Amino acid sequence: MRVEEKKVITWAIVSLVVFLITNWLLTLKMMQLDKAVHMSEAIQVTWIAIAFYAATIILAVLKVKISYYLLAVVVAVYSVGFVGMLMTMINDSSANYLVRALPIVMSAIGIWVNVYWYILVFRLRAVYQRKSMKKQLEKRAKEFKK
């Protein structure tokens, strides 16, 4: 496995962990949300997030070509989730600003992690394209020599 692939997978796992921590922070009563997040909802969201990330990461480890595209969709969905959590804490929480700060900062970190993940995956794509172009050039060079 390439270094670039390991970085992409590692940062996807970081994204998942930050999402889960932020999600569970919102279940705390001290967040004083207008509409409280119930424990059953948090558990359901946790299992769904783990399943989506795990499935796409496993496909990436197995080198299924479409895996990084699927993982990009998952990261995009959870990026929207981070924005939603950020907006919820800003607009729908009556907790004091110090209490709100942690989930707001965690959401911002999650957005940053996901943007960085996209930067890494675009670099990985460039590596794959160079490898493919090199292979094609070598093939054409062999055909030309014949």
Domain coordinates in residue numbering, the chain: 3-121
**C-alpha span between 123 and 127 (Å, rounded):** 6
- How wide is the angle at C-alpha 4 spanned by C-alphas 15 and 62, nearest 5°? 80
Looking at the whole model, is its pTM more than 0.95? no
Q: State the Cα–Cα distance between residues 23 and 53, nearest whole angstrom.
A: 15
Number of residues in the chain: 146
User: What is the signed CA dihedral for 10, 80, 123, 141, rounded to 10 degrees?
Assistant: 110
Tell me the three state secondary structure of residue 109.
helix
pLDDT for the residue 127: 86
Instruction: Give me the average pLDDT of each 10-residue run along the chain (146 residues).
Output: 92 98 94 89 96 97 93 97 95 92 96 97 89 82 75
Find, among 80, 117, 83, the residue nearest to 103 by Cα: 83
